[in-house]
Amino acid sequence: MAVKEALKEIGLHFIVVDLGEVEVMEDVYGEQRERLKIALLNSGLELMDDKRAVLIEKINNVITEMIHYSDEVPKMNYSDYISEKLDYDYTYLSNLFSEVKGITIQQFIIIHKIERAKELLLYDELTLTEIAYRLHYSSVAHLSNQFKKVTGLTPSHFKQLKDKRRSPLEEIGNLPTEAGPVENKFKQINGTENGKSKKIRVG
């Protein structure tokens, strides 16, 4: 692991706190801090010593994992889930998040839920009812209303538009054989990918 090697080289003691996060036991100042920062940057990593920034990153990661990487969104209240995961009072987390991000945790969760709903619609493996259940909506109508508020489209309209933009590769074998030019138009759908940057926390 690049982080461990960099810390050992500088002579610092540390513990692994979480995936991609290491806590340094000593206070790091001056030249030592600069050496650590440069070593991490060379490995594509970031030095985080602002405890508020670390906490915001943790909130972001908990929500991202909860919505995008779990088979089912937890049935308990989001506030209780996040507070329990991070072992902080939710009011404190909420106020901090809003102050730094300019958006509430609830709004952030809604945005992620709608992005996840988009993905599931495009996969075309679940019905809208199943998607609503998986994302912990009280009803299909609730999901549809929230989806339209965020995207300006209903889920069914969104899916229709995306289906029309897909390259009709499966239809190539059915193209007309009469003499004359045949024009095939293909449009590429740009995808999005959620990534998480690795962080290291100092003292």
Name the nearest CA neighbour of 136 among 116, 156, 154, 118.
Answer: 116
Percent of the chain with pLDDT over 70: 67
> pLDDT (tens digit, 9 = 90+) per residue, 174-186?
444 443 443 333 3
Provide the pLDDT for residue 70: 78
pLDDT band (50, 70, 90) for residue 2: low
Name the nearest CA neighbour of 148 among 128, 166, 127.
Answer: 128
Q: d(Cα 2, Cα 39) in Å, to the nearest integer?
A: 9
pTM passes above 0.85:
no
Those residues with Cβ within 8 angstroms of residue 143's Cβ, 6 or more apart along the chain or in another chain: 117, 128, 131, 132, 135, 137, 155
> pLDDT (tens digit, 9 = 90+) per residue, 156-177?
999 888 777 654 444 444 444 4
Q: d(Cα 90, Cα 63) in Å, to the nearest integer?
A: 13
Those residues with Cβ within 8 angstroms of residue 159's Cβ, 6 or more apart along the chain or in another chain: 121, 122, 124
Domain boundaries, the chain: 2-49, 52-161
> pLDDT (tens digit, 9 = 90+) per residue, 68-116?
887 766 777 899 999 999 999 999 999 999 998 999 999 999 999 999 9
Provide the pLDDT for residue 41: 78
> pLDDT (tens digit, 9 = 90+) per residue, 31-63?
777 887 787 777 777 666 567 888 998 999 999
Q: Name the CATH topology of 52-161.
A: Arc Repressor Mutant, subunit A (1.10.10)
Q: Is 129 helix (H, G, I), strand (E, B) or coil?
A: helix
Strands 21-24 and 14-18, sheet pairing: antiparallel
